[in-house]
């Protein structure tokens, strides 16, 4: 197995717009950003430190296909520990911000990390899903999901769709300063994690399954959400797309 | 005096009876898709020369399948004369005995199967041609008796509209129609009125509306996201060390990632060097999406295309100052004219799989028969050229061995390769695999893509070898070894010669060109993704789904 | 994985670096990372390599010997994690790393 000096993740502390933050950045080029024992321990350690030192936020720059399967239980344990410490941190009111802008997207256990964050920021190239396109095609067949059809992959797992169904909070252009500005706007903002919020989330998910049960394609969902021309969504630049989302939220659909 | 009863219009008489047999299945000129095989059985005769239109992109795939479904009892011993062997059905007819002899130019994905069929004696190869060579032979000794072409639309009289992918159709249609051959067009639609006429009705014998639009492959789309830093470094060397030095205004690019890297740093690296308006002004290429930034930033002023590219239709149509556009508003391509235009330009640059010590290059490797396509015509000195340009004269002067020799110009033919390919296979070899193929093939000559004596420069990540300045064959071999990196060929260099070569300009390293290797990053690319290309095009480029990540 | 170690001695001036270390590249398919550090090594250069492609030790040695010679390096430690890079990529990364070390990162 190839090795890397940093095991595919850089962690550290620094200032962003004068605010102290702790930050982890995954290297998607190394084993697809997969999380193994050392890689995972670095992220867990970072968040544990944040619980003690109370920075303005922990920032996770995610670009990962999930757990490093070849490390077997050690990898799975590492993933589980990140999930646990994330929830610990949130219960103390420490904001955890996730950002997805890499080519691997965010899959498997890393997608669970992402959804445990207070706030998720992504560019339209970002993807978020438990199972990857090839996995779905293998299990369900090519008629159900053609992993080669990249337009289909992005409209099913891409950041815009995740934004429209409320799983991602902010969409930004594929640009470093845009990510930075979006992160600054979320510093020191914590979304408390309580039994009530979890129960509300559960029932929202139940309603979502009910409402979109018959949708065969993401575009059907977008239309049901009130998007007039779902076929235009994929081509929209981030600003136009955000205006569209604002309009939908304004109309209360 | 010749005997008076000698018949000199046998082919035309045979044409009449072919058409009569076919007409029984037609309504006017239009034949139902379900009768396609019957039509072919009616008009083709055993032993005929048949062309199934197909090249890099557009394919008469339905008619090819219809021919493959014919009975080998009725149709056999056909001689296939066509540029590309690309579809499984192209070889099915050899497997079943419908066809036996083959004259062609190129076989991409079918190369392995073709190799095996030749071994089994099912395919008897006449020759592997270059494009211009095969199309020329259509007008000499290989005129097709029957040609099956692919087009966008036909009207009821049989006029044909090809759309932007005209490609090889004009050459095939002319050679067939005027040598009493039967021309059958597979069309996506029959309409009342065509946007423009690419082939006039009286050249066309039958029209078959196909159940599905003909297959087109987007083979010229290179995702900028896959361009590597080594390719960017080599692109920087080419721009400084060759395009700038020789003021290359007219040229042809290959279609790999290496040349895509050049295209994508024109608006950045070359712009900073002040080269806009001086280099890369006119090109003979397909409308490669990676050219969009260079076109939009005013580098490339004119392009003639051999064919179109999926997704580029609207962009091209809106850029009639640059491309050749029909009165209907869509592009008109033409492979033969594009090949000719490229042949007479200042420079060809492309990649290859193997280069030997004389600079001969080949894409033929041991277990595949791939052929050459357009590279040999683009990548050879145009000895019929007489008009001059700065680069052509400079190259001629550099290559002049003897002061008493008559002054003449010279085309620049550049091979751009990394010393190792994927899997650490060396590009530089002592002996081309083509030699072994020659014996397998029982061919009198090895299948060489570009001959060493046509090659003027070899560019690798290590540097540029200028073969024009080599005085002897020994020097030439040493110059090639000097850019062959850590391959066995490269390790065999005479290290003492390197400094001498650098002084004489035979060998040019990046640092000799003032190139900072740290600049060789993807930040230098004017577009780093397909989406960036869409943005450069103002939303006119519509990439196929497989290239999207949004 | 294969582990390789080389030691080179070049007669020349001590390398004067602008910074203590430089790192470039990523361990991915056909790519590598290079860490280059200033260290008192009695005027030599020490190299250690972990590579996923076996049996290319001789090529590595040639590439690195040329590199050390070209830049007249001494008292330099080079550590490489390789994911099967071609010599072209290796040479480019080494040149990038030494440029960062000698002139400071971009």
Q: How far is CA B393 from CA B216, B400, B468, in A?
A: 40, 11, 12
Whether C27 and chain A come into contact, CB under 8 Å, resolves to yes
Q: How far is CA B417 from CA B294, B479, B483, in A?
A: 23, 15, 10
Residue B375, classed as helix, strand or coil, is helix
To the nearest whole Å, the CA of A7 is away from the closest chain C CA by: 10
Angle between the B36-43 and B61-68 helix axes, to the nearest 10 degrees? Answer: 70
CB contact under 8 A, A2 and C1: yes
Q: Determine what percent of chain A is predicted with pLDDT higher than 90.
A: 91
Q: Is B486 left (phi over 0), alpha (psi -120 to 50) or beta?
A: alpha
Domains identified in chain A and CATH numbers:
9-190 (3.90.226.10)
Nearest of B312, B296, B293 to residue B224 by alpha carbon: B293
Mean pLDDT, range B69-78, rounded to an integer: 97
What pLDDT digit, counting tens, does each position of A226-237 carry?
Answer: 999 999 999 999
Q: Is A253's pLDDT higher than 50?
A: no
**Using an 8 Å Cβ cutoff, are B190 and B30 in contact?**
yes
Chains touching C by CB (3 or more pairs below 8 Å): A, B
Kindly state the helix (H) or strand (E) to which residue B354 belongs, with its residue range: strand B354-355
Which tokens hold the place of B242? 């060759």
Max Cα-Cα span within chain A: 53
Which stretches of chain C drop beneath a pLDDT of 50? none
CB contact under 8 A, C53 and B486: no
Q: Is A214's pLDDT higher than 70?
A: yes
**Nearest 5°: phi and psi at B413?**
-120, 115
* Domain B348-459+464-508: CATH architecture, name and number where available: 3-Layer(aba) Sandwich (3.40)
Q: Determine what percent of chain B is predicted with pLDDT higher than 70.
A: 99
Kindly state the helix (H) or strand (E) to which residue B7 belongs, with its residue range: none
Lowest mean pLDDT across A47-61, B29-43, B290-304, B363-377 = B363-377
Mean pLDDT, range A104-122, rounded to an integer: 97
**Using an 8 Å Cβ cutoff, are B301 and B322 in contact?**
yes
Q: In angstroms, rounded to a whole number, what is the distance separating the alpha carbons of residues B421 and B235?
A: 17
Nearest of A56, A48, A54 to residue A11 by alpha carbon: A48
Helix ranges (DSSP H) in B150-226:
169-177
**Using an 8 Å Cβ cutoff, are A165 and A222 in contact?**
no
Q: Give burial (CB, 10 Å; 0-12/13-18/19+) of A210.
A: exposed
pLDDT at position B369 is: 73
- Which has more pLDDT, B3 or B94? B94
- Note the ipTM here: 0.92
Q: In angstroms, rounded to a whole number, what is the distance separating the alpha carbons of residues B548 and B255?
A: 20
Give bridge partners of residue C2 from the DSSP assignment. Answer: C51
Q: In angstroms, rounded to a whole number, what is the distance separating the alpha carbons of residues B19 and B15?
A: 6
**Nearest 5°: phi and psi at B167?**
50, -115
**Using an 8 Å Cβ cutoff, are B86 and B109 in contact?**
yes
Residue C91, classed as helix, strand or coil, is helix
Q: Is B2's pLDDT higher than 90?
A: no
What end-to-end distance do the CA atoms of chain B give, in Å?
77
Q: In angstroms, rounded to a whole number, what is the distance separating the alpha carbons of residues B285 and B372?
A: 16
Q: In angstroms, rounded to a whole number, what is the distance separating the alpha carbons of residues B299 and B428?
A: 33
Which tokens hold the place of A127? 């993807």
Place of tokens 């960062």: C100
Mean pLDDT, range B70-95, rounded to an integer: 96
What pLDDT digit, counting tens, does each position of B211-269 carry?
Answer: 999 988 888 999 999 999 999 999 999 999 999 999 999 999 998 999 999 999 999 99
Q: How far is CA B254 from CA B57, B295, B427, in A?
A: 16, 17, 17
Q: How far is CA A126 from CA A129, A145, A153, A172, in A?
A: 10, 19, 11, 10
Nearest of B531, B543, B518 to residue A175 by alpha carbon: B531
Which tokens hold the place of B547? 């290239």
To the nearest whole Å, the CA of A249 is away from the closest chain C CA by: 42
Which tokens hold the place of B162? 């090809």
Domain boundaries, chain B: 11-209, 219-345+519-535, 348-459+464-508
Residues 223-282 of B with CB under 8 A from A: 225
- B11-209 against B348-459+464-508: fold identical: yes
Q: In angstroms, rounded to a whole number, what is the distance separating the alpha carbons of residues B220 and B384?
A: 29
CA–centroid distance for B84 within its chain: 10
Which tokens hold the place of C24? 């470039």
What pLDDT digit, counting tens, does each position of B446-459 carry?
Answer: 989 999 999 999 99
Q: In angstroms, rounded to a whole number, what is the distance separating the alpha carbons of residues B147 and A201?
A: 66
Nearest to B424 among C86, C96, C99 (CB): C86
Q: What is the DSSP letter of B114?
A: H
Whether C33 and chain A come into contact, CB under 8 Å, resolves to yes
pLDDT-based confidence at residue B401 (cuts at 50, 70, 90): confident
* Domain B11-209: CATH architecture, name and number where available: 3-Layer(aba) Sandwich (3.40)
Q: Determine what percent of chain B is predicted with pLDDT higher than 90.
A: 86
Return the residue of A nearest to C84 by Cα.
A2
Nearest to A154 among B529, B539, B548 (CB): B548
Which tokens hold the place of A162? 């995740």
Whether C4 and chain A come into contact, CB under 8 Å, resolves to no
Q: Is B398's pLDDT higher than 80?
A: yes
Report strand pairing: B425-426 vs B464-466.
unpaired
Other beta carbons within 10 angstroms of residue A146's beta carbon come to 16
Return the residue of A nearest to C35 by Cα.
A5
pLDDT at position B219 is: 87
Q: Which residues of C57-77 are buried (b: 16+ CB within 10 A; e: fewer)?
A: eebbeebbeebbeebebbbbb
**Using an 8 Å Cβ cutoff, are B190 and B154 in contact?**
yes
Domains identified in chain C and CATH numbers:
2-12+20-103 (3.30.230)
pLDDT at position B7 is: 85
**Using an 8 Å Cβ cutoff, are B270 and B279 in contact?**
yes
Residue of C23, C33, C51, C93 to mutate, interface with A, max A Cβ within 10 Å: C33
pLDDT-based confidence at residue A251 (cuts at 50, 70, 90): low
Q: Is B95's pLDDT higher than 50?
A: yes
Q: Is B490's pLDDT higher than 80?
A: yes
Whether B512 and chain C come into contact, CB under 8 Å, resolves to no
Query: With the CA atoms of A133, A135, A136 and A139 taken in that order, what torsion angle do they form, in degrees rounded to the nearest 10?
Result: 160
Query: With the CA atoms of A128, A132, A133 and A135 taken in that order, what torsion angle do they form, in degrees rounded to the nearest 10?
Result: -160
Q: Which residues of C touch B517 (CB under 8 A)?
A: 92, 95-96, 99
**Using an 8 Å Cβ cutoff, are C96 and B517 in contact?**
yes
pLDDT at position A190 is: 83
Tell me how many helices (H) and strands (E) chain B has: 21, 22
Give bridge partners of residue B184 from the DSSP assignment. Answer: B148, B206
Q: Is B507 left (phi over 0), alpha (psi -120 to 50) or beta?
A: beta
pLDDT at position B374 is: 86
Q: In angstroms, rounded to a whole number, what is the distance separating the alpha carbons of residues B518 and A206?
A: 53
Q: Which residues of B393-415 are buried (b: 16+ CB within 10 A; e: fewer)?
A: ebbbebbeeeeeeeebbbbbbbb
To the nearest whole Å, the CA of A69 is away from the closest chain C CA by: 17
CB contact under 8 A, B228 and C96: no
Mean pLDDT, range A41-54, rounded to an integer: 98
CB contact under 8 A, B549 and A149: no
Nearest to A1 among C1, C28, C79 (CB): C1
Q: Which residues of B touch A152 (CB under 8 A)?
A: 545
Whether C1 and chain A come into contact, CB under 8 Å, resolves to yes
**Using an 8 Å Cβ cutoff, are B426 and B361 in contact?**
no
**Nearest 5°: phi and psi at C16?**
-105, 115
Give bridge partners of residue B495 from the DSSP assignment. Answer: none
Q: What is the DSSP letter of B243?
A: I
Q: Is B22's pLDDT higher than 50?
A: yes
Q: How far is CA A197 from CA A83, A113, A170, B306, B336, in A?
A: 18, 18, 20, 62, 69
pLDDT at position C10 is: 80
Q: In angstroms, rounded to a whole number, what is the distance separating the alpha carbons of residues B473 and B452?
A: 11
Q: What is the DSSP letter of A127?
A: B
Q: What is the DSSP letter of B203?
A: G
**Using an 8 Å Cβ cutoff, are B430 and B488 in contact?**
yes
Return the residue of B nearest to C60 by Cα.
B486
Q: In angstroms, rounded to a whole number, what is the distance separating the alpha carbons of residues B240 and B242?
A: 6
Q: How many CA atoms lie less than 13 Å away from A184 in the CB half-sphere?
A: 11
Residue C102, classed as helix, strand or coil, is helix
Q: In angstroms, rounded to a whole number, what is the distance separating the alpha carbons of residues B406 and B403?
A: 8
Q: In angstroms, rounded to a whole number, what is the distance separating the alpha carbons of residues B66 and B39?
A: 9
Nearest of B98, B91, B84, B103 to residue B141 by alpha carbon: B103
Mean pLDDT, range B405-415, rounded to an integer: 96
Residue of C86, C89, C93, C103 to mutate, interface with B, max B Cβ within 10 Å: C86
Rg (CA), chain B: 25
**Using an 8 Å Cβ cutoff, are B238 and B273 in contact?**
no
Q: How far is CA B358 from CA A66, B170, B222, B437, B445, in A?
A: 50, 38, 31, 19, 16
pLDDT at position B1 is: 65
CB contact under 8 A, B548 and A150: yes
**Using an 8 Å Cβ cutoff, are B46 and B155 in contact?**
no
Whether A27 and chain C come into contact, CB under 8 Å, resolves to yes
Which tokens hold the place of B362? 């080949």
Average pLDDT, chain A: 94
Which tokens hold the place of A191? 């979304």
Q: Which residues of B170-206 are buried (b: 16+ CB within 10 A; e: fewer)?
A: bbbbbbbbebbbbbbbbbbeeeeebebebbebebbbb
Q: How far is CA B547 from CA A65, A154, B529, in A?
A: 20, 11, 10
């Amino acid at each position: 197995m190839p090795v890397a000096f940093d095991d595919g993740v850089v962690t550290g502390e620094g200032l962003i717009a004068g605010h102290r933050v702790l930050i982890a950045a995954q290297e998607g080029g190394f084993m697809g950003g997969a999380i193994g024992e050392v890689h995972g321990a670095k992220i867990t350690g970072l968040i544990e430190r944040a619980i003690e030192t109370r920075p303005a936020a922990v920032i996770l720059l995610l670009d990962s296909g999930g757990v490093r399967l070849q490390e077997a239980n050690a990898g799975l344990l590492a993933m589980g520990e990140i999930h646990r410490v994330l929830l610990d941190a949130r219960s103390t009111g420490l904001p955890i911000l996730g950002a997805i802008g890499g080519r691997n997207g965010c899959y498997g256990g890393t997608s669970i990390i992402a959804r445990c964050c207070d706030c998720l920021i992504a560019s339209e190239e970002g993807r978020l899903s438990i199972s990857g396109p090839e996995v779905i095609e293998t299990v369900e067949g090519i008629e159900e999901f053609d992993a080669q059809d990249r337009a289909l992959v992005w409209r099913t797992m891409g950041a815009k769709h995740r934004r429209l169904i409320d799983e991602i909070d902010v969409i930004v252009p594929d640009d470093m300063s845009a990510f930075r500005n979006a992160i600054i706007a979320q510093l020191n903002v914590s979304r408390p994690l309580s039994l009530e919020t979890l129960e509300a989330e559960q029932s929202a998910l139940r309603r979502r399954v009910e409402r979109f049960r018959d949708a065969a394609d993401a575009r059907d969902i977008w239309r049901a959400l009130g998007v007039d021309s779902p076929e235009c969504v994929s081509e929209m630049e981030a600003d136009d797309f955000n205006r569209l989302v604002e309009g939908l939220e304004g109309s209360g659909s | 005096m010749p005997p008076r009863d000698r018949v000199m219009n046998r082919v035309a008489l045979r044409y009449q009876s072919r058409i009569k047999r076919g007409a029984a299945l037609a309504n006017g000129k239009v034949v139902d898709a379900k009768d396609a095989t019957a039509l072919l059985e009616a008009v083709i005769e055993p032993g005929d020369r048949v062309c199934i239109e197909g090249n890099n992109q557009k394919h008469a795939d339905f008619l090819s399948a219809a021919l493959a479904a014919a009975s080998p009892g009725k149709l056999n011993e056909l001689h296939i004369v066509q540029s590309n062997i690309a579809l499984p059905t192209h070889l099915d007819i050899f497997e079943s005995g419908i066809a036996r002899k083959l004259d062609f130019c190129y076989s991409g994905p079918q190369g392995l199967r073709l190799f095996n069929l030749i071994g089994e004696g099912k395919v008897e190869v006449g020759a592997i041609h270059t494009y211009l060579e095969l199309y020329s032979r259509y007008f000499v000794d290989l005129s097709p008796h029957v040609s099956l072409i692919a087009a966008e639309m036909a009207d009821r009289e049989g006029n044909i509209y090809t759309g932007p992918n005209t490609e090889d159709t004009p050459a095939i249609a002319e050679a067939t129609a005027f040598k009493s051959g039967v021309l059958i067009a597979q069309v996506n639609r029959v309409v009342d009125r065509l946007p423009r006429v690419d082939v006039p009705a009286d050249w066309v014998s039958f029209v078959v509306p196909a159940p599905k639009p003909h297959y087109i492959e987007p083979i010229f789309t290179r995702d900028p996201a896959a361009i590597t830093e080594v390719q960017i470094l080599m692109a920087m060397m080419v721009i400084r060390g060759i395009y700038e030095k020789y003021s290359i205004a007219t040229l042809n690019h290959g279609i790999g990632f290496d040349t895509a890297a050049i295209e994508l740093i024109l608006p950045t690296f070359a712009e900073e060097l002040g080269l806009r308006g001086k280099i890369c002004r006119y090109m003979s290429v397909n409308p490669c999406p990676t050219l969009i930034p260079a076109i939009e930033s005013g580098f490339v002023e004119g392009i003639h295309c051999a064919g179109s590219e999926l997704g580029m239709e609207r962009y091209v149509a809106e850029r009639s100052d640059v491309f050749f556009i029909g009165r209907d508003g869509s592009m008109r391509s033409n492979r033969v004219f594009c090949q000719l235009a490229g042949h007479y330009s200042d420079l060809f640059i492309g990649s290859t799989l193997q280069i030997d010590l004389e600079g001969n290059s080949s894409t033929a490797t041991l277990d595949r028969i791939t052929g050459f396509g357009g590279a040999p015509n683009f990548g050879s000195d145009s000895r019929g050229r007489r008009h001059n340009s700065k680069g052509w004269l400079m190259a001629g002067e550099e290559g002049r061995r003897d002061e008493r020799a008559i002054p003449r110009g010279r085309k620049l033919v550049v091979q751009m390769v990394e010393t190792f390919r994927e899997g650490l296979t060396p590009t530089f070899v002592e002996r081309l695999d083509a030699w072994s193929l020659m014996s397998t093939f029982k061919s009198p000559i090895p299948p060489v893509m570009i001959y060493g004596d046509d090659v003027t420069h070899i560019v690798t990540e290590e540097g540029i070898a200028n073969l024009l300045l080599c005085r002897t064959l020994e020097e030439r071999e040493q110059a090639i070894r000097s850019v062959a990196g850590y391959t066995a060929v490269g390790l065999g260099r005479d290290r003492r010669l390197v400094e001498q070569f650098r002084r004489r300009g035979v060998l040019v390293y990046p640092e000799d060109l003032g190139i900072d290797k740290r600049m060789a990053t993807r930040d230098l690319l004017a577009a780093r993704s397909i989406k960036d290309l869409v943005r450069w095009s103002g939303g006119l480029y519509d990439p196929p789904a497989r290239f999207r990540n949004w | 994985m294969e582990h390789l170690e080389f030691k080179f001695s070049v007669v020349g001036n001590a390398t004067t670096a602008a910074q203590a270390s430089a790192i470039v590249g990523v361990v991915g398919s056909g790519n590598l990372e290079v860490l280059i550090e200033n260290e008192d090594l009695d005027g030599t250069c020490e190299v250690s390599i972990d590579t996923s492609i076996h049996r290319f030790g001789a090529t590595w040695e040639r590439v690195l010997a040329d590199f050390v010679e070209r830049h007249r390096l001494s008292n330099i430690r080079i550590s490489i994690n390789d994911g099967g890079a071609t010599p072209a990529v290796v040479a480019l990364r080494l040149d990038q790393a030494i440029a960062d070390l000698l002139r400071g990162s971009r």
